[in-house]
Amino acid sequence: MARTEAIVLGAGIVGVSVALHLVKRGLAVALIDRGEPGHGTSYGNAGIIEANTLFPAAFPASMKSLIRIALKRAPEANYHASFLGRVMPWLLAFRHNSVPERLIATMRAMRPLFARALAEHETLAAEARAGSYLRHTGWLKLYRSDRGFAATAQERTFAAEFGLPVRTMDVDAALALEPALAPVFRHAVFWEDAASVTNPLALTCAYAARFVMLGGVTVMGDARSLHRVGTRWRVESTQGPIDAEAAVVTLGPWAPDLLDPLGINLPLVVKRGYHRHFATGGNASLARPVLDADNGYCLAPMEQGIRITTGAEFAARDAAPTPVQLNRVLAVARDLFPLGAAVEDNPWIGARPCFADSRPVIGRAPGQPGLWLAYGHGHSGLTLGPATGRLIAEMMTGATPFCDPAPYGAERFASHRRR
């Protein structure tokens, strides 16, 4: 293989976007995955490019919600009891980061990335001739309770500060947008600037094809074989060893498999999530993703059918699937929208890679010259993949980064590194 300048490890939406941004800047890049691009977590998300995101998902504020989750009655969260001990330090850190002033600080730290997210997708999609997968029809959030709607007030105030168009709607106005919905909700909030994707896998594959067209190389290999040879990094692949002066870890939920043995021990937890596609009853259709906020699931119209996606499940990444949340929400989802038969026999499962401060890690790997990190995008990896690709490519090539990368540095977890 010709001389490689950068190895990108993991071909999800983040890795493909990083590889594409590097190759666009003239680097010789090898993109390594153990399978085909886009088949990890990036395969099964709700397809929402949530550039409007302000507050991240937060630890439940009310005792009532916590008790419902503890009793496994909440649709928005589930857990494996055997996993609670392992995840407890992370949950405590997550709760610590969920007080109002820290949520506001996170919002301000993440805003530059989110603000760039849609424009980066639009550019990459246009260049990859994949614009037809992008839908500019916004995101509709429904609230069945007055309380759920009232809780959005502060976010809507910040939306005005950041110039994000958002419209509150009564039931009739929401039904004018989405006539197939049943009026089982009381309020709606329409985030007009959000975009969505009709097939997340196809979008990632189109970006990967563009990467190859620009001279990048995709190779199968096991990222865990990465090791140092002199001042370079080497990975074993089906085409033999590949080495380069720089390597970027974009393994999403699998990043610790490679990083822990290298002594980079960052506190990543996965929030597992499920999806399943359903046919639509009669001529019913949706023009945009719809969130049933009080029930914690999303209805996302995809090429394969209506994709129902679930909230968070705290369990070991590789434990057997337990899609109880899908079963919990199916009846309420059928009240809201005429779902037909399930398309697949079994639900899909994925694992959102999450840090407790709801920020990804983007930047240099501590103590490992030439190694870079871009993972931990949690609930927003589809949204942030291309903006992340631009940021890290700018950092790696010595260009001026489009935003200050300091909030995303691995150094914020210094106390967790092995000495």
Ligand X SMILES: Cc1cc2nc3c(=O)[nH]c(=O)nc-3n(C[C@H](O)[C@H](O)[C@H](O)COP(=O)(O)OP(=O)(O)OC[C@H]3O[C@@H](n4cnc5c(N)ncnc54)[C@H](O)[C@@H]3O)c2cc1C
CB of residue 321 to ligand X, shortest distance in Å:
12
Q: Which of 42, 34, 35 is nearest to 17 (CA)?
A: 42
Q: Please, which residue, 106 or 383, has the CB nearer to ligand X?
A: 383
CB of residue 339 to ligand X, shortest distance in Å:
17
Dihedral sign, Cα of residue 51, residue 336, residue 275, residue 103: positive
CB of residue 172 to ligand X, shortest distance in Å:
27
When asked if residue 223 is in the footprint of ligand X (CB under 6 A), the reply is yes
When asked if residue 256 is in the footprint of ligand X (CB under 6 A), the reply is no
Pairing status of strand 48-49 against strand 217-220: unpaired
When asked if residue 372 is in the footprint of ligand X (CB under 6 A), the reply is no
When asked if residue 388 is in the footprint of ligand X (CB under 6 A), the reply is no
CA angle (70 as vertex; 69, 71 as ends), nearest 5: 90
CB of residue 146 to ligand X, shortest distance in Å:
26
Tokens standing for residue 419? 């000495």
Q: Which of 88, 77, 69, 391 is nearest to 267 (CA)?
A: 88
Q: Please, which residue, 24 or 275, has the CB nearer to ligand X?
A: 275
Residue of the chain from 4, 6, 7, 10 that contacts ligand X (CB under 6 A): 10
| 160 to 54, 163, 164, 297, 371: CA distances (angstroms) | 11, 5, 6, 26, 39
CB of residue 129 to ligand X, shortest distance in Å:
22
CB of residue 271 to ligand X, shortest distance in Å:
7
Residue of the chain from 27, 47, 121, 296 that contacts ligand X (CB under 6 A): 47
When asked if residue 317 is in the footprint of ligand X (CB under 6 A), the reply is no
Helix, strand, coil percentages for the chain (3-state, nearest 5): 40, 25, 35
Q: Judged by CB under 6 A, how many residues of this single chain contact ligand X?
A: 43
Residue of the chain from 141, 144, 210, 275 that contacts ligand X (CB under 6 A): 275
When asked if residue 389 is in the footprint of ligand X (CB under 6 A), the reply is no
Pairing status of strand 240-244 against strand 134-135: unpaired
When asked if residue 347 is in the footprint of ligand X (CB under 6 A), the reply is no
Dihedral sign, Cα of residue 107, residue 110, residue 115, residue 118: negative
- Spatial separation of the C-alpha atoms in residues 99 and 115, rounded to whole Å: 23
Q: Which of 82, 83, 80 is nearest to 323 (CA)?
A: 80
Radius of gyration, CA atoms only, the chain: 21
Torsion of CA 22, 360, 15, 140, to 10 degrees: -110
Q: Please, which residue, 177 or 255, has the CB nearer to ligand X?
A: 255
Residue of the chain from 21, 29, 40, 142 that contacts ligand X (CB under 6 A): 40
- Spatial separation of the C-alpha atoms in residues 371 and 363, rounded to whole Å: 9
Torsion of CA 249, 40, 57, 96, to 10 degrees: -40
When asked if residue 337 is in the footprint of ligand X (CB under 6 A), the reply is no
Helix, strand or coil for residue 186?
coil
| Contact pattern from residue 60 through residue 99 relative to ligand X, giving x for each residue in contact according to CB under 6 A and a dash for the rest | ----------------------------------------
Cβ count near 135 (within 10 Å): 18
When asked if residue 382 is in the footprint of ligand X (CB under 6 A), the reply is yes
Considering only 30-38, 66-74, 276-284, 332-340, which stretch makes contact with ligand X by CB under 6 A? 30-38
Considering only 45-53, 93-101, 317-325, 396-404, which stretch makes contact with ligand X by CB under 6 A? 45-53
- Spatial separation of the C-alpha atoms in residues 105 and 109, rounded to whole Å: 6
When asked if residue 224 is in the footprint of ligand X (CB under 6 A), the reply is yes
When asked if residue 34 is in the footprint of ligand X (CB under 6 A), the reply is yes
Residue of the chain from 276, 352, 359, 364 that contacts ligand X (CB under 6 A): 352
Considering only 120-128, 183-191, 333-341, 375-383, which stretch makes contact with ligand X by CB under 6 A? 375-383
Considering only 21-29, 39-47, 101-109, 236-244, which stretch makes contact with ligand X by CB under 6 A? 39-47
Pairing status of strand 290-292 against strand 139-143: parallel
List of residues contacting ligand X (CB under 6 A): 10-15, 32-35, 39-42, 44-48, 50, 222-224, 250-254, 257, 273, 275, 309, 350, 352-353, 375, 377-383
